[in-house]
Structure 1
């Protein structure tokens, strides 16, 4: 039986061990780990136990000539994988199996892996920035944030990995930087960036241009209005945009800027209406209507609900105590491989935890998940 498709793209990763001492092949260990994570395993010992229980099935795909490696061997090998090579392999795999549509929203956002902190001082937990295709609901790539740096410096590396021509890249205020906007345009994509106080001059000009016109535009019927109803909470939003950027001197510094926008919202929780409106401001290189901007801004939050929340609930990511140097970032990437496979399997119409349990119970189902 042929290997699962994703393994082909990880063959180029260099084995960090001395070849004369290699007992268990790198691809064997990667395949074992991904299969175990799909089946709900959390730590190194769980992965080893899964391997012993499923050895005959695993050998349908990879040889495991010397049996299942010990958990400390699995941990040592995974922790020494070159993260840059892993990222390149992951993005190459996704470029092949995920076809993006023109104008699709690609959300970039970071998540802290709370359990990956340094044991001595319980600090320096890993921060991972991911790219999420909102329409396809899959992870396109990821990049760890250096402990001595921040998300801004990881975004260019993540953008380097992506093939996003014709897409709309959304980033929160942390990524609202001229250099980031330039890199997105260089990738032949458009940006939609949230503007906050880290761009004071731009924020002030957008406020001055749009806030006085909100009431006037509302009377003219050009606002886009929407409501969101959830249990015990209702949220009402309206959006206004402008394409006349000549009066805004700050926008000339933003590559290909065509649209500025504001979304005003208020909440009604348990029958109580908030007395304050909240405002969110945006700049984009795409020519967006008020409706398009509102929908795209709303889609950005799918990375929170569709990825980060599922990783915590389905994979218990925040509770994962893998902290060995280098292991947390690679294991997060392996978790994303498992996430994408489980998300692609739609015949069993239940959530991630139920799919993982089914994969643990049934090798037929696990094989089906890995084939996607």
Structure 2
């Protein structure tokens, strides 16, 4: 990866909003994998065309090629395709040209560029009042298997993503074959400024090394404790929860069920962590009357001065937003698991472009991604405006 990618967002951190909103200022850091001979089209317009097509609802390489082929001359001009020096006509690339480029891209470089672009578009938080504590930013970390990328000789690729609780993907990393998410945790977060953040993850990432790493980076953590850590699980479970009062309670009625959540917090000196949490969920199915009770334990580096019980409950529940706001959308709206793209880096590249589209829509205040795609596809200039290309 080029050394400049480590400083990818720095030139734009203090730029004007139009500067930080221009996707080209970030994609220019992605190295061109093609040889110098035979390059008819610059790489940057091809990447911008692919990103705009996905923002307009393209689910496949064929759809990306069709969107580019049908683009009017003014759109090709805004994308950066050069005119013929003799005729002045802007030639449209063959879909195979785009496919060959995307399948050879450096996935880490592309994800770094997209992540820096999305972080630059994020509105900086307002400075807190002198008498109030600064607000913490909640970030979820979770992995997903791209099922359609499996072949007869290779397993499906796995991708680990970091997403803020508003639905914006901050970073993504591919998990090495014959490995799991744990070794990819630190490299994933190395590119993000974690100061003033609280990280949420599933039980797989409840690791002492992860917690120490986050504290060194100026971040806090909320980690689920399950029986894969039997000693810690027994230690937390045996705390006198019956004697601890309920700190926060909510009751919701949705999806044909009635749900009550109660949170208790404890801090004991003999624990190696600042605090422990117990969340008990009562769920009653309104159609069958069936009642289920679930008890979840967590550990955290937060104390009573860092967060309120209501904030803790919101972050714990908000962690699963990475499933609903990202993974579910990629599967249902973009039909990711049905895709048969398997060649080279294409599965990861297409996932990165889908992350870009979903995150841009979230940043623009769109909650229904399917409706946002339909709206964008009705006008060729809309995806270009959303990406700052025009």
TM-score bracket, shorter-length normalisation: 0.7 to 0.9
Look up the match of 2:55: 38
Look up the match of 2:5: none
The CA distance in 1 between the partners of 2:378 and 2:291, in whole Å, is 52
Q: Quickly say closer, same or farther: Cα 1:180–1:67, change in 2 above 3 A.
A: farther
Report deviation, 1:369: 2.1
Give CA-to-partner distance per residue, 1:205-250, whole Å, 9 cap, x none.
Answer: 00001xx423x334xxx43211221132112111111122x223xx
The equivalent position to 1:26 in structure 2, one of 43, 48, 55, is 43
With 286-295 and 328-337 compared, the bigger mean Cα shift is at: 286-295
Q: Is 1:58–2:50 an aligned residue pair?
A: no
With 275-284 and 24-33 compared, the bigger mean Cα shift is at: 275-284
1:163 is paired with a residue whose SS is: coil
Q: Root-mean-square deviation (CA), in Å?
A: 2.3
Look up the match of 2:155: 124
Look up the match of 1:104: 137
The CA distance in 1 between the partners of 2:168 and 2:367, in whole Å, is 17
Q: Quickly say closer, same or farther: Cα 1:106–1:45, change in 2 above 3 A.
A: same
With 74-83 and 90-99 compared, the bigger mean Cα shift is at: 90-99
1:58 is paired with a residue whose SS is: helix
Contact 2:115 2:170 in 1 (8 A): yes
Q: Quickly say closer, same or farther: Cα 1:325–1:178, change in 2 above 3 A.
A: same
Q: Quickly say closer, same or farther: Cα 1:2–1:242, change in 2 above 3 A.
A: closer
Look up the match of 1:254: none
Look up the match of 1:329: 348
Contact 2:102 2:346 in 1 (8 A): yes
The CA distance in 2 between the partners of 1:71 and 1:33, in whole Å, is 10
Look up the match of 2:270: 247
The equivalent position to 1:182 in structure 2, one of 196, 212, 216, is 212
Q: Is 1:113–2:141 an aligned residue pair?
A: no
Report deviation, 1:194: 0.9
Look up the match of 1:217: 244
Q: Quickly say closer, same or farther: Cα 1:103–1:4, change in 2 above 3 A.
A: closer
Look up the match of 1:161: 191
Report deviation, 1:319: 2.0
Give CA-to-partner distance per residue, 1:303-357, whole Å, 9 cap, x none.
Answer: 11112222222222222222112111122112111222222334xx672222212
Contact 1:243 1:258 in 2 (8 A): yes
Q: Is 1:369–2:362 an aligned residue pair?
A: no
2:184 is paired with a residue whose SS is: helix
The CA distance in 1 between the partners of 2:289 and 2:250, in whole Å, is 16
1:312 is paired with a residue whose SS is: helix
Q: Structure 2 unaligned segments of length 5 or more: list them.
A: 1-17, 84-89, 126-134
Q: Structure 1 unaligned segments of length 5 or more: list them.
A: 252-256
Q: Is 1:267–2:255 an aligned residue pair?
A: no
Match runs of 1:350-369 below 5 Å: 351-369=368-386
Count of aligned pairs between the two proteins? 353
Contact 1:33 1:47 in 2 (8 A): yes
Give CA-to-partner distance per residue, 1:98-145, whole Å, 9 cap, x none.
Answer: 246431211111122222211x26x622221111111x3211111111
Give CA-to-partner distance per residue, 1:282-309, whole Å, 9 cap, x none.
Answer: 1111114443322210111111111222
Contact 2:50 2:64 in 1 (8 A): yes
